[in-house]
Structure 1
């Protein structure tokens, strides 16, 4: 799905409060022509709609700045908003030229029903997002993990993940993504059985 964002350059000397009274949100584009940044405005309603579809550091958008005839790919890098009213204050975009790698965050999506969970095991997920690096054309919406074949006692690390082509993970490869553990009752029963076996073995000896 392509998301198009229409912006205009921000009038010099304009105040954020005055812009918001006009129904506009201050914004900025970084990485435009290298280190140059551009101050922008966009309609507040469009900004709110954008954030319902796009995620920070994840969704690539087509950004158009009509009054300077510029368009290109960009990521939403930062959203400033009121902590509980959720009123938008400012959006920051980062230009991503075609073919250039960028760092971003993608969600982990667990699919399937684990055989271990069917047997009463519990899924303990330690991370829900992954830090990756890739070019715009290779940005995945998510990293899918099918857990259907995983039983009780399974521990999956970042280094075990199967990544899409062109995607490099930035997180520690030893970091645990999730574990499928036995419930407390099952673990207690297993421990008791093991102790009984040890005692019986010692008695037989």
Structure 2
């Protein structure tokens, strides 16, 4: 994906407020061999870009001052209740730098699996993204995970999936995290009808 940014000179709360009022979003780009630069982007274009998965998980081409550089979205701040992007951060990436990024998992095929089709099991996507380490050229936009081989009572782990070439999963000490769990359907238990309450004897005044 490609986007256009413009260099900005002024900084501070007042300058950022004026930028937002004019339909711009303040930001910064840093990292790599260049110095950090203050930038601004068209808010409407940025708003629509943030709705796209690829904008969050892939290398972006940023055009600034007529030059294009490779960057990653690193952070952005939203207004508490308005549809307004307050600030955005990008990091420059270089070809030989190892990146650590979270990549979405795209699951498919579970409806054709034995677990779902035959045994009517419940499939739970425990994890929807994983952190990977790779150079920029090998960074996948997403990772496809085929669930057509799921079986009753057998969970899918990280070691069960095929990763793109040059991509390594970062598990932060967990040996083999579960990605998808498979459980048998819960049995419907009909509650026994409650016994009617015994009627209390009518109270009355006894004769002496």
Please indicate, yes or no, whether the TM-score normalized by the shorter chain is above 0.5.
Answer: yes
Q: Distance in 2 between matches of 1:26 and 1:102?
A: 25
Q: Which residue of 2 aligns with 1:97?
A: 94
Give the root-mean-square deviation of aligned CA atoms.
2.0
Q: Which runs of 5+ in 2 are unaligned?
A: 190-208
Matched, 1:117 2:116: yes
On the 8 A contact 1:57/1:104 being kept in 2, the answer is: no
Secondary structure of 2:19's counterpart equals: helix
On the 8 A contact 2:32/2:94 being kept in 1, the answer is: no
1:79/1:26 Cα in 2 relative to 1: closer, same or farther (>3 Å)? same
Deviation at 1:48, TM superposition (A): 1.5
Q: Which residue of 2 aligns with 1:41?
A: 40
Q: Distance in 2 between matches of 1:153 and 1:56?
A: 36
On the 8 A contact 1:56/1:77 being kept in 2, the answer is: no
Q: Structure 1: which 4+ aligned runs deviate by more than 6 Å?
A: none
TM-score, with normalisation over the residues of structure 2?
0.80
Choose between structure 1 and 2: higher helix proportion: 1
TM-score, with normalisation over the residues of structure 1?
0.81
Alignment coverage as a number of residue pairs: 182
Secondary structure of 1:184's counterpart equals: coil
Q: Which runs of 5+ in 1 are unaligned?
A: 189-205
Deviation at 1:55, TM superposition (A): 5.0
Larger Rg: 2
Which is worse superposed, 10-19 or 100-109?
A: 10-19
Q: Which residue of 1 aligns with 2:156?
A: 156
Q: Which residue of 2 aligns with 1:79?
A: 76
On the 8 A contact 1:156/1:177 being kept in 2, the answer is: yes
Q: Distance in 2 between matches of 1:54 and 1:45?
A: 17
On the 8 A contact 1:158/1:173 being kept in 2, the answer is: no
Deviation at 1:159, TM superposition (A): 2.3
Deviation at 1:70, TM superposition (A): 3.7
